[in-house]
Structure formats: C-alpha cells, structure tokens
Structure 1
C-alpha cells in the first residue's frame, strides 16, 4: 500500500477509540496525510491528550475530539450526523475500540469477560457501522476500517471470549461490506469495509517497560497507522470485504 497522502487530502475521517496508543498513532498519520480528523473515546483525558499531540505535530491540521458513548446507538448516530453537518461529508470511520480479557484455561472462562467484550468489541462496531453507513455511501471514497486480531480465526482455549467477540465483529463488518457491494451495483462498491488483522500491538512505552521482550509477530502502532491510511490508496473494490493481514496468518 502507498502512503495515503493524496487519497486522504481533505478527507473527513472519524476515529473511534482514539485515546490509546493505536489511536494516537492513527490521528498523527491521518493528520499528516491532510485529513480532517474527528476523534472519539470514552476517556476524555486520554482523548484530549491524543488530539493535542496530533495538532501539535501537524500545525494547521484539523483534529477534533468528542467523548461519545458508542454503547448508545443514538449517541453514535448523533456523532455521525453532527460530523457530516459540520464538515459536509464523512469519508471514513476507523474503529479502534479495544479490550482484552482472558483465562488460564477454557473451563476457567468467566462469562463476565464475555459480557464486557461483547459490548466493547461487538456492540460498538454495530453502532458505528449503522451510524456512519449512509454518510460513507454518499462519499466518493468512503471507508470503514476495523482492527481485528488473528485470534478471531484461530482462538486459543484461554481466549474464548475474546476470540468469539473479534470473530463476531469481523462477521458484522463483512456484512457491511456486502451491503456496500450490493449498493454499488454493476459499477462496483463506491465505499468499502476492510479488516486489518494483527496478532497484537506494540508501542514504544511497552518496549521501554520490557526491554528484553521480543514481541514476535506484534505490529507496531505506527505500522498499523500506515496500513490504515493505505486503505484509501486502493480502489474500493479491491479492499471491500477483505482481511488485510499485518501478521502471519495462523
């Protein structure tokens, strides 16, 4: 994939779950590519820090942040509507909302973990995709980008809840991709839903905390952000409904 600069110049991209390390890297990369970035997170402090960092790194870039409860479909729809009203268009939704819970063995799986992960990893995807669908179809370069994990394709015994939630989020995103395909008709989809698959993510602070760790197969958040930007470089028909692997397939 290319550098995303030309394809993202002037694009309006929403980023859900922008307060973490992956969110920070993604805001920076999108701002660098010339996009208008509209970020959300359920942690106002982390969100403000991420937005300020992107603004500081790229003077003149439009990067805004708004706490949004993505477990509330109405709030997600209001975020999409307000964004489109303010900027006149929405060209992307990058879904970075994450979370992890695991157990030592399959029989020790705590169903409370599933209840939490179903909300974080599935419900938020459902709500953002439903809220942003219409605007992405109206765009001439609409993209819905889900960050998923290799564990969705090959879950381990201690990650039953996590793997199942990631698999459900992927299935929902692929259904969105099918909707884009059908709505495009004979000309092909104008918008695309793509899945970026990682084993796990790593960033500089993690390396500093564990200097001897190998982090084998992990994807650096900067590389993830580069791959996110690259989704706009390819025609919608080539990325729609595809899993783009950033780690070795299991």
Structure 2
C-alpha cells in the first residue's frame, strides 16, 4: 500500500479473500494504529461482488468512516450491510460490539444489527443483553426465523420462560418449514415439555421429507414407534437406512434396534410362534 504497486498488493488481497476474517483482523490492526483510511482501503479492495459481501465488512466500513467524520459514507455502508445475506455471519470480536452499536445509532431500525449483536452477547454469556437485542430485532422484522429460534432457546435455557419459548420456536418453523434443524429443535422442545407420543409423531409425519434428511430426526420417529408399541414399523425403518455416527448420538440407534427386536420376540413368545417376525 505504501508503494502503490498493484503487482505486490493483488496477490496479498487474493490470499486475504480466502478467509474474510483475516481481512477484518488486518483492518482492525490498521485502526488500532489510527490508520482508518488504510483500513477502509484494504476492506474496499477485497470486495469483488458488492451484492455478496460478508455483512461485517460493510459494518466495519461504516464504522471506520464514522470515526473520521464521513457520516454520509458511513450511513451508506450501514445501509448496505443490513441487506446482506446473514447466513454464517457470527461476529465475535470485542471491537465488533462497538461497530454494531454504532450501526444501530445510525440505523436504529436495522434488525440485522440487533440480531448480530445479540448473537455476540450470547456468545459472551451476556444473556440478558442478547435477549434484549433479539426482542428488538423481532419488533423490527417479523419474517426472520433465526431470531425467533435464538430467542426461543434463550427463553427456555436462560430465562425460564418455557411456554413463550415453545411459541417462538413454532413461529420460527412456521416462517421456514424447509429447515430440518428447526423441526428437530421444535420436536426436542415438545419432548422436554412432555407432549404425548402421538402428537409428536403427527408432527414428524407431517414433514416426512425433512425427517428423512436428518439421522437424528429419523431416529426420533423410530423411537416414537417403539414407544407406541409399533415395533414392526420401527424395525422396518431401522432396516431401511444406513446411519452415520453423529456427536451425541452414540448408542441411540443400537438401543432402538435392541428394543424393537426384543419386544417383537416377546410378542412371538406370547403367541407361542417361533417364526421370525
């Protein structure tokens, strides 16, 4: 950047683009040295497609411009940041708290900024601050399922507001009925709340395609068949799928396999029928 030699700069920028978090780190290093314009230049040069930018890049550009008195430019970048795809955006640096708070000062109706800041607070175990941010995000945007999901988990796990948590997670899934993870978490919440087996099975049957897409959901359906005494159906489902190991699922498949075969064997014994079911 000192020599203005693009032959030196471009290969470095290409390396930076491999990991957008590295770009943010370098820009913050410049800012720590008071070199705001250099930080802005670095971030701007790493943008290839203005419509496909990691949101925190635009938020950082907004904040850096605000720091040097370029408020109109700051507002323009903050406006861009709020419409970027939020998927996989998880700010975690202490500096990003200040950046997002400044974004909210410039755009107090930016639901995404509240959402990101809530994620950051929750990761830092500042649970009430996270809840406050997510509640504000919901007030501003009623169509973003992830905020409802996050707030539901915070209500249930940290605030003891269990009934409200169920309603929020139901709302999240209603907003995106293609998200198998939301279905899994909703079913898990129903189970913790003591919903009966038949109700839970009806939920999973209603979204059969989603159930098939996840081993844990598929196994929950098998478990419900066993709990309802429908062992032959459980056996058929177990035989139809090759399960892959997953964290937290150790032994769960083999347990359901054992249960349904033992119960089917008991039925044969009671009927004095030695044939394989």
TM-score by length of 2: 0.26
Give 1 or 2: higher helix fraction.
2
TM-score by length of 1: 0.28
Larger radius of gyration: 2
